[in-house]
Amino acid sequence: MSCICILGEISIMAAQNFLWSFTKNCFTFGLIGLTISDRYASIVPVRGSSMSPTFNLTTDSFMGSLSDDYVLVEKFCLQKYKFSHGDVIVFCSPSNHKEKHVKRIIGLPGDWIGTPMTNDVMKVPNGHCWVEGDNPSSSLDSRSFGPIPLGLIKGRVTHILWPPQRVRHIERKNHENILSPS
Amino acid sequence: MAAQNFLWSFTKNCFTFGLIGLTISDRYASIVPVRGSSMSPTFNLTTDSFMGSLSDDYVLVEKFCLQKYKFSHGDVIVFCSPSNHKEKHVKRIIGLPGDWIGTPMTNDVMKVPNGHCWVEGDNPSSSLDSRSFGPIPLGLIKGRVTHILWPPQRVRHIERKNHENILSPS
């Protein structure tokens, strides 16, 4: 009788130990995942067609959010402060800080941007960059809200991860109508 | 073997607590020194250049305001400089989106655009702020200063202070 009681106690203690160490491990891995997602890389869906055909090639509104591309966003560029022409970046919208947008960097500080429609030439100020979408007809970008401060950039898109048939690396693509000092 | 176990579990604990500290500092609150005199007398009352960096005020910066998106007039905030994204500045929010800011020197009146705010230092004669670089996007804000923590004789809560020369719709 006492053997059964002792065995019962031992198995309850073993179960409690297991539960406690399982909880601790979940917590630690959750924290590691959160730190990685904040500081190094995360996976986000891309909405809208302003970056067609690079992202979201099909814009069928019925299948809309089911066919979003999921992309890998790396944040190492923020710690080394290295941005290049043609990088696709994620940034906080200057007109609504709760929203994030995805566009391509066309101009860096010191570049001269030409707008074909108005025949204006504009110099990108220090600490700012000029961004445009790959699909100019359906893109709200620097042609509307002007150059954005580099401090608004939240990460750089390197790969499409989903759907599987569209998995690939995102290449830098340079633009024709800028003059760059470098 | 007992020593190895102890060392291993000590390392694991250091790692976990380091990670917790990092997450708290990134997402909830951190302590930073304030340089310069653009916010005198609120921060850095003495500007003795010999004692310069030894007498910096250390302040508590909370980041809960970023998650609730709540900024108010008179908040002292930390933000990335719009002209150099590697630097951070500390100023007070004078105007929120939709406010009209008057500049006494030029007799201009300016409306703060959507998603932007107007910041100024408490020491206007020595402050590089929105009067030079214009309104800044709210997305550049990195946190809100709530308390001075060091030196001990200056420990106190930072109050909101409202400004005279703005017209606000609210």
Q: Which of A28, A39, A97 sits opposite B137 (nearest CB)?
A: A97
User: Is B138:B112 a contact under the CB 8 Å cutoff?
Assistant: no
- Work out the pLDDT band at B136, boundaries 50, 70, 90: very high
Q: Assess A28–B contact: CB distance below 8 Å, yes or no.
A: yes
pTM of the predicted model as reported, rounded to 2 decimal places = 0.83
ipTM: 0.81
Burial A89-101 (b: 16+ CB within 10 A, else e): bbbbbbbebeebb
- Work out the pLDDT band at A172, boundaries 50, 70, 90: confident
Provide the percentage of residues in chain B whose pLDDT is more than 70: 88
Chain B environment of A126 (Cβ under 8 Å)? 83-84
- Residue B137: is its pLDDT beyond 90? yes
Q: What is the pLDDT of residue B141?
A: 93
User: Is A155:A165 a contact under the CB 8 Å cutoff?
Assistant: no
User: Tokens 């019925």 identify what position?
Assistant: A62
Is there a contact between B80 and A151 if contact means CB atoms under 8 Å apart? yes
pLDDT, tens digit, 9 for 90 and up, residues B30-67: 998 888 888 888 887 765 555 555 667 889 999 988 87
User: Is B15:A35 a contact under the CB 8 Å cutoff?
Assistant: no
DSSP B56: P
Q: Which among B54-58, B66-70, B103-107 has the top mean pLDDT?
A: B66-70
Where does A40-81 have alpha helices with state H? 76-80
Structural tokens at position B2? 């007992």
- Work out the pLDDT band at A28, boundaries 50, 70, 90: confident
Report the alpha-carbon distance of residue B74 to residue B55 in Å, rounded: 25
- Residue B138: is its pLDDT beyond 80? yes
User: Is A132:A106 a contact under the CB 8 Å cutoff?
Assistant: yes
Q: What is the pLDDT of residue A137?
A: 87
